Amino acid sequence: MVSRTNKFRGSRYHGRGKKAGRGAGKRGGRGNAGINKHRLLTRLKYMPGHWGMYGFNRHPSLIKVNVSINLQEVQDRAEGDSIDLSSMGYDKLLGKGRMERPINITVSKASATAISKVEAAGGSVIINEE
């Protein structure tokens, strides 16, 4: 029995015709090729919302990411009764964890929960505007 490849030896297009046999010719291109031309209906039917802007993150370069720290970590790191988080590179104090001793904390921003927990323990949060 002769294999299909051997059967077409000597014939130029191996029974595929001129254009279908090269590249991705018979399927209209590879991947999303022709999505605005011959595959337009496929795009409209199966890919709604593929183009255009959506969501809040339109300009990622304008978003400021805060370097934050939780109360529990502050309590573990504070050696005395005061700590300056701004000089340590932290921007914001968050309220996760417990405060068991009074600590005076200096930071750029702090959540309401963090401030209330620190004040309930007898400490204070000093917000320094930069």
Which residues form the domain of 45?
A: 13-60
Verify that 88 and 121 share a domain, yes or no: yes
Assess whether pLDDT exceeds 90 at residue 33.
Answer: yes
Verify that 54 and 68 share a domain, yes or no: no
Verify that 33 and 82 share a domain, yes or no: no
Verify that 86 and 35 share a domain, yes or no: no
Asked, for residue 3, whether it belongs to a domain, the answer is no
pLDDT in tens, 76-98: 888 888 999 999 999 999 999 99
Of 59, 61, 71, the closest CA to residue 100 belongs to 71
CA dihedral 46, 52, 54, 59 (to 10 degrees): 140
The Cα–Cα gap between 14 and 26 comes to 14
pLDDT classification of 46: cutoffs 50, 70, 90: very high
Asked, for residue 89, whether it belongs to a domain, the answer is yes
pLDDT classification of 57: cutoffs 50, 70, 90: low
Verify that 26 and 54 share a domain, yes or no: yes
Please state the domain count of the chain: 2
Asked, for residue 49, whether it belongs to a domain, the answer is yes
Residue 65 CA to chain centroid, in angstroms? 12
Q: What is the CATH number of the domain that holds 81?
A: 3.100.10.10
Verify that 100 and 45 share a domain, yes or no: no
Verify that 34 and 74 share a domain, yes or no: no
pLDDT classification of 18: cutoffs 50, 70, 90: confident
